[in-house]
Homo-oligomer: A and B are copies of this chain.
Amino acid sequence: MENMNRTIHFLSRHKHNFLYGVSLAGLLFILKWLELRYLIFNNGIEIYIGSIALLFTALGIWLAIRLMKPKIKTVLVEKEVYISNTPFIRNEKELTRLGISKRELDVLQLMAKGFSNVEIAEHLFVSLNTVKTHASNLFMKLDAKRRTQAIEKAKQLGIVA
């Protein structure tokens, strides 16, 4: 059972090579027949070679078309998400997506209320430096250059009220 699965997997992975092998075999058979026709009865070796050339050119084209990697074109589709503004519901998805921790969220919320870093430090019972570190991390995660920008983005994303 395990072996069979592996075999099938192998075949599907190398199906192009496999196809090429089979095609080649078939074509060689046809060629043998043509060889008889032309070599023996007609002696038209040039025509024979021409046929082979055309045939294998076609085969090459076919192969190339089959094997060519498609170019990948990415199209952005904007999906509108309406935010109801009546009761605030935190967008937990965005929080986890951006990797914002609890403590960082604490700082962000106080920031959005208009608190200075010193005031935030006092409210959270941590040092000013700690608040600064959280703030810096927030700016990175929110891709913001200033606290005002961070607040605006956070509000847009439904992270803070």
Contacts and interface: CB of A to CB of B under 8 A. Distances in A.
Interface of A: 24, 27-28, 31, 35, 45, 49, 52-65, 68-86, 111-116, 144-153, 156-158
Nearest to A31: B49
Copies in the complex: 2
A46 to B, nearest CB: 9
Contact of A78 (B55, B73, B77): B77
Contacts of A114: 144-146, 148-153
A148 B114 CA distance: 4
A23 to B, nearest CB: 10
A49 B28 CA distance: 9
A58 B54 CA distance: 12
Contacts of A59: 56-57, 60
A140 to B, nearest CB: 15
Contacts of A69: 71
A147 to B, nearest CB: 6
A82 B79 contact: no
Contacts of A61: 60-61, 63-64
Contacts of A85: 82-86
A71 B60 CA distance: 17
Given A53-B27, A60-B63, A65-B68, A152 B82 contact: no
